[in-house]
Amino acid sequence: MTSRVSVRLPILAACVGLSFGASAADLTVYDALDFAPTVVKAFTAKTGITVDVVEPGSTGEVLGKIAAEGDNPQFDIVWVDGSAVMERMMRDHILQAVPDDAISSVKYTEMGKALLPKSHSFVPTGASTTAIEVNTKKVPADQTPKSWADLEKFAGKVAAKDPNLSGPAYQWLAGYFQTNGVDTGKALLEKVLTNKALAGLSSGGKVNKAILTGDAVVGINQDSGIIAKAKAGEPVVAVYPTDGSVALPIGLGISAKTKHMDAVKKFIAFVTSAEGQAAMQAGDDTDFFFMPIVEGVKPKVERPADIKFLILDDAKAAMNEADWKQWYKAKFVP
């Protein structure tokens, strides 16, 4: 079900500190992020710019809505996890390159600079990664997997998301192939994901549920979701595999047909400011536990800050998206 949250607050820019100035322009944001309504409310309170937040569901459902709109897109901004999907949408002329002046003043960390694509297909606003989720009550400490290859010993009991429905899952699959090689990676996954009832789940929440209450004992899941469950007291832990954790940027893309570029630029300025980043952390659901990539912004205390992220080859991942998704669907989805 599509959820639309209209945020239309009075112009308060004159009553607060730093201001980007009021604008009569409306923005429409399509997203699949827990914190988007919170951020939009703070943005409107600061600038007076009205914003419609449209949340069709998962990243896959957001992308499906955009595809269905075709040459008549109804969004100005798409804000989801993943970089490969942004690269593909720019290649397909759904998105336009982010203007230099929209990001030239952003004080990115070294990681943030590394995540900024040469094509300018999106604005990185934060990051997470995919980790191995382990139920500590089902898996003895001395049997905790340390690498993706170690998942073979849990064959049939590994929960995973379908990359056709989950943007983070495709980012992981493309990164997994990048670090292990496509043929080697496919062969290993065929040995691991032997239970289709667990391998084709539609969301990170369903992966969590399978690990906590179902037949799965470990899973392949977004680390911010694992961290959120652990903070809530669930017996799970995020294990970062020795063979690499590929960065999952929180990407903000601009519609190729937006008529509200001035407001878009102000939104980008806000979400990459300390105030906007604070709004992105003001909650306890999955996406609030992201890794900040703006200087001076600290992660929530539960989020590890010393992970060595690998950077995805977005162009290659975008080029192979259809083929790799179809292969996964044919092999692992019921």
For the segment 25-59, what is each residue's pLDDT rounded down to a tens digit? 489 999 999 999 999 999 999 999 999 999 999 89
Asked if pLDDT for residue 227 goes beyond 50, the answer is yes
Could you read off the pLDDT of 64-102 as tens digits, one per residue?
A: 999 999 999 999 999 999 999 999 999 999 999 999 999
Rounded alpha-carbon distances, angstroms, from residue 223 to 82, 116, 197: 14, 21, 22
What amino acid is encoded at 273 in this protein? S
Whole-number percent of the chain with pLDDT over 90: 88
Q: How many domains does the chain have?
A: 2
Range of the domain at 295: 3-127+249-305
Are 123 and 66 within one domain? Answer: yes
Rounded alpha-carbon distances, angstroms, from residue 18 to 129, 144, 274: 32, 48, 11
The closest alpha carbon to 309, from 180, 119, 81, 127, belongs to 127
Are 107 and 24 within one domain? Answer: yes
Is the residue at 310 inside a domain?
no
**Segment holding 188, helix H or strand E:** helix 182-192
The closest alpha carbon to 129, from 309, 328, 315, belongs to 309
What amino acid is encoded at 129 in this protein? T
Are 104 and 183 within one domain? Answer: no
Sign of CA dihedral 290, 295, 297, 298: positive
**Segment holding 289, helix H or strand E:** none
CATH of the domain at 324: 3.40.190.10
Are 135 and 164 within one domain? Answer: yes
Distance (Å, whole) CA 231 – CA 195: 29
Q: How would you class 118 by CB atoms within 10 Å of its CB: exposed for 0-12, middle for 13-18, buried for 19 or more?
A: exposed
Inter-residue contact 29 to 53 (CB < 8 Å): yes
The closest alpha carbon to 208, from 229, 224, 191, belongs to 229
Is pTM, for the whole model, over 0.95?
Answer: no
Are 175 and 76 within one domain? Answer: no
Could you read off the pLDDT of 127-158 as tens digits, one per residue?
A: 999 999 999 999 999 999 999 999 999 999 99
Helix (H, G, I), strand (E, B) or coil at 245: strand
